[in-house]
Structure 1
Amino acid sequence: MYKQDELSALRQQVARKAQLEIRVEQLRAQRRELARKAEDLKAAQQEEQADVDRLEGRSLAAFFYAFTGKMEEKLDEERREAYAARVKYDAAARELSAVEGDLARDEAELRRLSGCEAAYRQALEGKAAALRAAGDPAAGEITHLEEEMAAAEREHKELQEAIEAGYSAQDWADRILEQLNSAENWAIWDMMGGDLIADLAKHDRLDQAQEMVEQLQVELRRFKTELTDVSIDAEMQVKLDGFLRFADYFFDGLFADWAVMDHIENSQKQVSQTRQQVEEVLASLESRRDAVERHYNALAQKREEQIFAAEPAKD
């Protein structure tokens, strides 16, 4: 059986936990920055102190300044610089220590609040069940909100499935373009006097591209199944006809090479256009998905408020 005062206390804990999570994230970022700063200042302080130690010892620099009569002047300068470096380092170390203390306290409080969201959700659902059992007027509005949330959840799932299918198609388009670009490079070499290796490599890339096109068409059909109101032209062909391949291998004529190059370029354009279409549809889908997420969250928040604020009729 729920109790309103316990529900209110749990809600406050959830709000406090959310606040602490933000603070902890900020404090961790501050700690990383201050740790780097303190490390740099410590290195600088050690370097300045090393300069003082060299002058106070039997170093070549000490001998030089003693010989020129400027030892005390130089030593005072180095001591001032070492002191300033130590002051900066000590200040940074104290600041780092303060941040670490704040972070430790907030992390400890976060650990104590672990599980408060689940407890609040359980208490909230307990109150919702009590409202329904009592036939409270608020129960009808809660049920209506739950139905809207379920519809939004279904739409989100459908959009996400379409988005995943679209990204799969986009990935295959990228693979095809990679093969076509490689074929284009081999074709250029072939036209500049390449040997049989260039021919074989070029056509191998085209064969691989054609196999990938077949898979891309499968992915696009899946994508289009989710998007019956969107038209995507996926009728692409990459393979060469028999005459061009025969001429390219055995006559190795410039005309045939140019025909192959032209075919590659046309295929690149077709694949790029299809990829662009998929990308545009994906942008629209992701925008719709984000809107559905916001709508779902708003409904969930409204449902929570309805349950929390409801006052069951007393017997």
Structure 2
Amino acid sequence: MGNSIQERQMELTMRRNERNRVIRRLDGAEAQLKDAIQLRDRLQQQLSKEQQDVIKLGKFSFANKWKEWSGKWDVQMEKEINEVAEAELKYNEAAKTVTDLEADIARLREQANHVEFAYVEEDWADFIKEKETWIRQNDTDANRTLQKIADDRVRVRSMIREINEAYEAGEKALRALDKALDKLGNAEGLSMWDTFLGGGLIVSALKYSEMDGSDDLVHRAQRALRHYETELMDVQNIVTESFKVNQNDIFTFTDIFFDNIFSDWMVHSRISDAKSKLNAVLQDVRRVQTQLGRKRDESLEELRRLDEQERTIIES
């Protein structure tokens, strides 16, 4: 088959694949945003309710006075404050996710409207007509074989590109997880000091500061993991193997730390639990990265064989 037609087909196929991928991601992000907004709004209502409970408990009433005299008021207030803190962190996490998805959608819409995609289907239709004419005029066994090689080369190069993008996303996820684990490690060390060695107010303050810092880092890791899974879905669209990170180990940070936030032992236990779960995700990502690397090597070898096969036909 003529080199110009091969090159034209490859260029158009890559453009169409990229356009379809962007549209697929845009559709997925819009569906996620709809769910995320509903969750954020529901958590906002829950936060408002918990805040009202604290306000009510703080107001004067004979019932509240009786609780105060009987020693129950402090216990109830601590419980209500815990519930507000939990609701606030969950709402903040949901709000961050909405913001992330809105930014992703804006970026994807910009990509989908890029000039290179404007007339890709019209260009493809024109090319098919051109190719059909060429095949009718040059339909030999050698040309059909060369056409098959050209088609396979497009498929393999698309696969390699998708694998490379997924692998890069995986490396970013690993770096984000490492940073989150380092921060949690600092919090765990301070928590151990605070829980078992009587660290005092300064150590407690440092511990909660490290926990606040890890909140943002874990959120970044979650965002990196979402992007990684999107890239993995693109890879799985063109290969038969399954590349998947265990969803059961991808957790919401705020679920780890609250039930009894003012109990040092509970906080220490939950920091350790958070580290354990993050480590499980980290190992899962590393496993998938190894799979991707192996598949990329196989694809590069297949591309080399196709080039050799084409060279043999042309030179024979």
TM-score by length of 2: 0.49
Larger CA Rg, structure 1 vs 2: 1
TM-score by length of 1: 0.49
